[in-house]
Structure 1
Amino acid sequence: MTPQANFMVLAPIAAARRTELEQLLHSMNDAPGRVNAANPLIPFTQFDTLHFARLVILNDGTLNDVRAYGGAPAPSYPLYLAFLGDIDGEVDSFFKELARRAGDGLRKIFSCCEGFTAGADLVSWMKEHPAPAIAAYVNWRSRTVLQIHEEAALREALLNQVRTNRDEFRDLPPRQTQRKLRQFVEAEVSSGHLKLTPPKTTPLIWWIENALHLIGVPLLGLLLLPFLILIAPIYIFCLRRLEKTDPELCWRVDQADSDRLSRFEDHYVTNQFNAMGSLKPGRVRLFTLIGVLNTVDYAARHFVPRGRLGRIRTIHFARWVFLDDKKRMVFFSNYDGTVESYMDDFINKTGFGLNAVFSAGIGYPRTNWLVRDGCGDEQKYKDFLRRHTLPSQVWYKAYPGLTAIDLERNTLLRKGLEVSSMSEQEAREWVALL
């Protein structure tokens, strides 16, 4: 199989070049929220291992929230440009391909950032400006962009075959339908009309790293267990005291700001989402967040079933990234549906996890024992999240029109064709996927 990876290049924007950068990013779109996938700066369609990409100006409008803790002055952070993506294979190889196919465009974009010079080695510069995720989620590990396109074409071919021969298929039992369509696909593949590329061999280094991570994290937990038990009463006391006194900053956003965000949303079946904010001060909150996110990352990597984050089936990729020496955090995701349905999914299906992670953010609705309450106050949570939402100046998806559920269905269709014999019930379930 081909593992997925992600990258994020983060660089401060030169103040005098911000307007120029905004104009460059705007030129990559046909309209706000609608990328020109073949734009001359970064021709996304030329990268056949790229699932999603975005360029975001991380303009945090909530810096003054820290004043809720003792009236401290708002900190001064750089205004960053973030360039991030989700890919098949290795980041190093992808960076080299980026430099080869989009070098001139990337140089124009990065020239608006501090420290970038005309003679800079592009690949080296991107590697020198990383922002690694502390936790990441992949909807279906090993499913490549190539596989997605081939399986979408497969389903379309199956549907066309059934429609064209409607009378022939109308009264066929499910097992015979599956057998007949299997023969059809074999003929189409043999003739070259369809391609179903077999998966590549999984790199040995990936297996080794994955096994070490699977074993190493629990071992580290066991080593730390006596210490964690010892400090647990103190930790619980401190956490509960903080939870009872944390300020809530959940007022509704200005309508003009909400309208500005809406211009970038709901153009396709899939949306981009960026949320950014400052973290609550103190080691208790920080260590709690680090522990929770490492747990999320470990579970997503080893135990979460393919196609599901808890009970949520609409997220393609997601990640959490610390900024500014863990003083701030940004969350990125690609999800199906509207922003309203996205928030409802989190509240109703993984509210406890939502509280455990985002309660570390300044102003989040107060939690109770870390996982209770919080987003249970739906309106407060939605107002909080909207305040922290940022638009993506440029956002690209390699397979527009296909939801995560569509991708799972197409994969199951293909798997069903690889089975030589099915029970009647299995065949009935497979035919229903059409």
Structure 2
Amino acid sequence: MTHQVGLTIITEIKAGEGEDIKQLLKAMSDNVVCNSVIPFGKFSNIHFARLFVLDESIDLNGRVIPPSLVFMSECDAPLNRHLNELVDIAGEGLDKIYSHCVDYINLSEITRKRRLAYLRSKMVNASAYYVNTVGRTVQQIRQESQLRNAIQDFLDHAQQDWSGNSSLEVRAKIQAYIRSEQTLNWARKPPAQPGLFFKLKEALHLVGMPLLVLVLLPVLIPAFPIWLLLLRIHELSDAAPHLKPDDAHIQELTDLEDLVAQNQFGAVGYVKPGWFRQLTVWGILLAANYGTRHIFNKENLAGVKTIHFARWVVLNEKRRVIFASNYDGSLESYMDDFIDKVAWGLNAVFSNGVGFPRTNWLIFDGAKNEQAFKDHLRIHQIPTQVWYSAYDHLTALNIANNAKIRAGLYSKMSETKAEEWLRLL
């Protein structure tokens, strides 16, 4: 079973203990790999993980939303193994964290079973979930990086002038080297693929959703013009002020960015009031989930190739939505990528949030108002107190290239193809 899953656990923080938990998270972030609370480096199947605090907030109706702690991870299936590893590797650390949260187990009554039950009770499903390449495990990514480095070392230290060899001859010597290295035996086999049950489930979803839409067409067709009319009424009447982010907030965010080849992004916002926006968000996220599962599941999210994982999570009785992603490069280039390549998608999803730049017909304008969009994102961005990457030196492009190196190692090739393959090194 080699597909990837996302875990989201959201817990309410006890009154007055928000700063205590932030201090604990800050201590964890000083050594995220080997800290004594959750030593992420000991987990074999976590790609990325994060913990962050959502501060107390006042909703659109003046109701208080208490502060909460959010744990998110992207890992290789099965999810049960991941939950069990969390409890087994970091049981006492979980106690330190969640003792600050409502409904956690009395410390005198803690057992492994109760820890696991608590985590399960606080799980929240993502409404849409994107994986850069379904089936590519942590082990595969690390091994293929090792393979590339080993081949480069061989070529650099073989004490041979390669200029007199054809590309196929160089490749043949690389193959012989790989065969001679016991630690690289795995590279002679193709990587494992997602399991049959997962493939069947995805195939049913791939076919089932369009069939459901087809069945509902007699209702959807007459409803669509009404929805369009209501959409324009809302777009023309919704407030869309261009607000500027606070300097202190920007500084807090930038202190957590550009530390490695990758970055984390997280933002939270309120859905615009009323049943119409609630219904629209539900429909758009349903479509987004279909797209990320069946269309944009191979190194490409509608033209954006720098994202490793992303998810949308609806919370607080559908009043708020969290968007979280792990991506390469700077935030500025990340936002530019989205604006240039998939502004329509940004508009479709995020224009249902309070304060988003004004759109036309759902997908036009909006994010194309570049500065207003960037300021809006910064205002809603959340500081991520703890963030872990299992391969923080590798970009999505690096990972894809390494996979191509492995795939081309023993496949049949012409001289031209072998030359192209060598250029990947």
Q: Fold conserved (TM > 0.5)?
A: yes
The counterpart of 1:79, out of the listed 63, 67, 74, is 67
Residue 273 of structure 1: how far off its partner (Å):
0.4
What does residue 178 of structure 1 align with? 171
1:242 aligns with 2:234: yes
Residue 320 of structure 1: how far off its partner (Å):
0.1
- Distance in 1 separating the partners of 2:200 and 2:184: 38
Residue 250 of structure 1: how far off its partner (Å):
2.7
Deviation by residue 1:95-133 (Cα, 9 ceiling, x = unmatched): 111111100001110110000022351111111001110
The counterpart of 1:105, out of the listed 93, 104, 107, is 93
1:51 aligns with 2:42: no
**Unmatched runs of 5 consecutive residues or more in structure 1:** 67-72
Checking the alignment, whether the CA contact within 8 Å between 2:135 and 2:194 is kept in structure 1 is no
Q: How many pairs does the alignment contain? A: 419
Moved more, 192-201 or 293-302: 192-201
Secondary structure in 1 matching 2:16: helix
- Distance in 2 separating the partners of 1:129 and 1:249: 35
What does residue 9 of structure 2 align with? 9
What does residue 145 of structure 2 align with? 152
Secondary structure in 1 matching 2:161: helix
What does residue 196 of structure 2 align with? 204
Query: 5 Å matches for 1:326-365?
Result: 326-365=318-357
Q: In the superposition, relative to structure 1, how do residues 110 and 198 fare at CA in structure 2: closer, same or farther (>3 Å)?
A: farther
Deviation by residue 1:155-209 (Cα, 9 ceiling, x = unmatched): 0011111111364322322222222212211221xx3356437544643332332
Residue 4 of structure 1: how far off its partner (Å):
0.6
Residue 14 of structure 1: how far off its partner (Å):
0.3
- Distance in 1 separating the partners of 2:206 and 2:382: 34
**Unmatched runs of 5 consecutive residues or more in structure 2:** none
Deviation by residue 1:46-100 (Cα, 9 ceiling, x = unmatched): 1110000000101276x57x4xxxxxx5331121100110000111121111111
Q: In the superposition, relative to structure 1, how do residues 123 and 388 fare at CA in structure 2: closer, same or farther (>3 Å)?
A: same
What does residue 96 of structure 1 align with? 84
- Distance in 2 separating the partners of 1:415 and 1:343: 32
- Distance in 2 separating the partners of 1:201 and 1:248: 46
- Distance in 2 separating the partners of 1:359 and 1:89: 33
* One-letter code aligned to 2:363: V
Moved more, 13-22 or 325-334: 13-22
1:192 aligns with 2:188: no
What does residue 398 of structure 2 align with? 406
Checking the alignment, whether the CA contact within 8 Å between 1:60 and 1:277 is kept in structure 2 is no
What does residue 155 of structure 2 align with? 162
Checking the alignment, whether the CA contact within 8 Å between 1:59 and 1:390 is kept in structure 2 is no
Residue 272 of structure 1: how far off its partner (Å):
0.5
What does residue 135 of structure 1 align with? 128
- Distance in 2 separating the partners of 1:170 and 1:246: 66
* One-letter code aligned to 1:49: N
- Distance in 1 separating the partners of 2:282 and 2:94: 33
The counterpart of 2:119, out of the listed 112, 115, 126, is 126
Secondary structure in 2 matching 1:301: helix
What does residue 116 of structure 1 align with? 104
TM-score scaled by length of structure 2: 0.95
Query: 5 Å matches for 1:347-386?
Result: 347-386=339-378
What does residue 414 of structure 2 align with? 423
Checking the alignment, whether the CA contact within 8 Å between 1:42 and 1:102 is kept in structure 2 is yes
- Say what the alpha-carbon RMSD is for the aligned residues: 1.6
Identity %, equivalent residues: 40
TM-score scaled by length of structure 1: 0.93
- Distance in 2 separating the partners of 1:382 and 1:29: 27
Deviation by residue 1:237-286 (Cα, 9 ceiling, x = unmatched): 10011111211133111111111111111111100100101001122222
Moved more, 212-221 or 154-163: 212-221
Moved over 6 A (4+): none
Checking the alignment, whether the CA contact within 8 Å between 1:131 and 1:321 is kept in structure 2 is yes
Checking the alignment, whether the CA contact within 8 Å between 1:2 and 1:199 is kept in structure 2 is no
